């Protein structure tokens, strides 16, 4: 593929991109079956929506709920795709399977590897149930091709493994309708297709989700604790109208317990860490200078409302040396 300049498409070109792709996808996919794995992320959402506009009866979406999503996120995803957009989407409840594969594992790389492998196994099992597919759709975007060295003049930075391709499932071809677009253009296509802003302008959320934010062994109760704390932190950032200003913000459940006093007695409970960063490209990042009052209300609410947490800390490290995620 030819390299693009930094020049972005105009609004008219975005409209034309949609029109041309709907036309060609319709020709290609009508009467065929295409499988698209949805992650809740922007790229797969826009890919599925574009295909749905072109050939609604051909599209089968699979959403794997690995139990590592944020509070109410799986319900929201189903509401948007299934109820509002009437897409053919299958939700796979794989939380138990993920948790059992992760039992007694606390080494970060090992955890990541297990989560990646489970994802692909679940997708394979689901694809198998669905029978022969003509196509697989993938939300590859231009940056993925650049980083994987698939563009002339581009450099190999990392292996592109945004969406896993099942091994034992036959299909003719992978379709990647967004592969010529920059991320901001993908968002503009999403808006033009009528996707809600909170889906299109969603912060980056890693594939392994809260799995990389739950330190040590991942358990159901620890995930519930983190979900509750994370939701409060996000609420408080939004209430302070800082959500448009901070690039990415979330909570981490550390594996550290410390002393505190609950109901007049000494107790040990978890420490929650809050992380909020500003960055241009996620390669380097600085911690956000959140006003103390906002941190104070988030901290007070977390220790009052979330059982088993009685200490909250704010991460004040830059990247490098610290990565944005804790694992
Ligand atoms: P780090 O932690 O490497 O993160 O500083 C940089 C950005 O990438 C996101 N991130 C991921 N995104 N799959 C993803 O799709 C992953 O496994 C993953 N790990 C980190 C992270 O949230 C941050 O925005």
C-alpha dist (Å) from residue 322 to 278, 281, 284: 13, 15, 9
What backbone phi and psi angles, to 5 degrees, belong to 172? -75, -40
Ligand 1 pocket check for 325: Cβ under 6 Å? yes
The answer to whether 302 touches 270, Cβ cutoff 8 Å, is no
* Window from 20-24, 107-111, 159-163, 274-278 with minimum mean pLDDT: 159-163
Q: Please report the pLDDT score of residue 169 as a whole number.
A: 75
Ligand 1 pocket check for 206: Cβ under 6 Å? yes
Say which residue the tokens 């072109």 belong to.
54
Pairing of strands 135-137, 89-93: unpaired
Ligand 1 pocket check for 183: Cβ under 6 Å? no
Q: Please report the pLDDT score of residue 39 as a whole number.
A: 84
pLDDT tens, residue by residue, 6-37: 899 999 999 999 999 999 999 999 999 999 99
Average pLDDT rounded to a whole number, residues 106-112: 96
Average pLDDT rounded to a whole number, residues 278-292: 94
The ligand 1 atom at the shortest distance from the C-alpha of residue 325 is 2
**Which value, to the nearest 10 degrees, does the dihedral of the CA atoms of residues 49, 243, 78, 210 take?**
110
Q: Is 210 exposed, middle or buried (0-12, 13-18, 19+ CB in 10 A)?
A: buried
Question: Is 80 exceeded by the pLDDT of residue 164?
Answer: no
Which amino acid residue places its CA nearest to atom 7 of ligand 1? Answer: 282
Q: Please report the pLDDT score of residue 166 as a whole number.
A: 73
The ligand 1 atom at the shortest distance from the C-alpha of residue 285 is 5
Q: Please report the pLDDT score of residue 147 as a whole number.
A: 76
One DSSP character per residue, 166-178 reads: PSS---SEEE-TT
* Cα(265)–Cα(260) distance, integer angstroms: 8
Q: Please report the pLDDT score of residue 137 as a whole number.
A: 95
What backbone phi and psi angles, to 5 degrees, belong to 92? -105, 120
Mutate to test the pocket of ligand 1, among 285, 324, 326, 327 (most ligand atoms within 8 A of CB): 324
Q: Please report the pLDDT score of residue 31 as a whole number.
A: 97
The answer to whether 310 touches 288, Cβ cutoff 8 Å, is no
Pairing of strands 265-278, 286-287: antiparallel
Structure tokens at 248: 């990415």
pTM score: 0.90
Angle at 42 between CA 32 and CA 111, to 5 degrees: 100
Ligand 1 pocket check for 56: Cβ under 6 Å? no
Structure tokens at 127: 């694809």
Identify the band that residue 161 occupies on the pLDDT scale cut at 50, 70 and 90: very low
Radius of gyration of the chain (CA): 21
Average pLDDT rounded to a whole number, residues 251-270: 94
Please tell me the distance between residue 249's alpha carbon and the centre of ligand 1 in angstroms: 12
Identify the band that residue 154 occupies on the pLDDT scale cut at 50, 70 and 90: low
C-alpha dist (Å) from residue 129 to 168, 222, 325: 12, 32, 35
* Cα(261)–Cα(147) distance, integer angstroms: 50
Which amino acid residue places its CA nearest to atom 14 of ligand 1? Answer: 206
Ligand 1 pocket check for 323: Cβ under 6 Å? yes
pLDDT tens, residue by residue, 183-228: 999 999 999 999 998 889 989 999 899 999 999 999 999 999 999 9
Which amino acid residue places its CA nearest to atom 24 of ligand 1? Answer: 204
* Cα(106)–Cα(121) distance, integer angstroms: 21
Ligand 1 pocket check for 282: Cβ under 6 Å? yes
Q: What is the percentage of the chain residues whose pLDDT exceeds 70?
A: 96
The answer to whether 185 touches 9, Cβ cutoff 8 Å, is yes
* Cα(66)–Cα(108) distance, integer angstroms: 17
Please tell me the distance between residue 209's alpha carbon and the centre of ligand 1 in angstroms: 10
Which amino acid residue places its CA nearest to atom 20 of ligand 1? Answer: 206
One DSSP character per residue, 76-134 reads: HHHIIIIIIT---EEEEE-HHHHHHHHTT---HHHHHHHHHHHHHHHHHHHHHHH---S
Please tell me the distance between residue 325's alpha carbon and the centre of ligand 1 in angstroms: 6
Mutate to test the pocket of ligand 1, among 43, 69, 144, 204 (most ligand atoms within 8 A of CB): 204
pLDDT tens, residue by residue, 54-105: 999 999 999 999 999 999 999 999 999 999 999 999 999 999 999 999 999 9
């Amino acid at each position: 593929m030819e390299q693009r300049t930094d020049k972005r498409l105009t609004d008219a070109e975005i409209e034309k991109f949609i029109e041309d792709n709907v036309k060609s996808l319709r020709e290609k996919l009508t009467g065929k079956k295409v499988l698209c794995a949805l992650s809740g992320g922007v790229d797969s959402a826009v890919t599925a929506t574009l295909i749905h506009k072109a050939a609604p009866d051909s599209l089968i979406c699979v959403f794997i709920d690995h139990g590592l999503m944020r509070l109410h996120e799986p319900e929201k995803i189903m509401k948007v795709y299934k109820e509002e957009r009437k897409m053919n989407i299958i939700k796979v409840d794989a939380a138990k399977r993920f948790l059992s594969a992760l039992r007694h594992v606390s080494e970060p790389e090992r955890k990541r590897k297990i989560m990646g492998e489970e994802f692909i196994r679940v997708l394979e099992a689901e694809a198998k149930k669905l029978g022969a597919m003509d196509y697989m759709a993938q939300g590859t975007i231009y940056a993925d091709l650049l980083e994987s060295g698939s563009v002339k003049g581009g450099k190999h930075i990392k292996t592109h493994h945004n969406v896993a391709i099942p091994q034992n499932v036959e299909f003719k071809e992978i379709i990647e309708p967004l592969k010529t677009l920059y991320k901001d253009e993908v968002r503009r296509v999403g808006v033009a297709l009528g996707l809600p802003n909170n889906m299109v302008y969603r912060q980056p959320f890693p594939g392994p989700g809260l799995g990389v934010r739950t330190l040590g062994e991942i358990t159901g109760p620890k995930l519930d604790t983190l979900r509750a704390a994370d939701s409060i932190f996000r609420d408080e950032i939004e209430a302070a109208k800082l959500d448009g200003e901070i690039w990415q913000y979330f909570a981490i459940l550390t594996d550290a317990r410390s002393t505190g006093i609950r109901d007049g007695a000494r107790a040990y409970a978890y420490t929650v860490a809050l992380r909020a960063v500003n960055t241009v490209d996620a390669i380097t990042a600085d911690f956000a200078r959140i006003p103390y009052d906002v941190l104070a209300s988030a901290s007070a609410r977390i220790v009052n409302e979330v059982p088993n947490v009685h200490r909250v800390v704010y991460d004040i490290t830059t990247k490098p040396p610290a990565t944005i995620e804790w694992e």
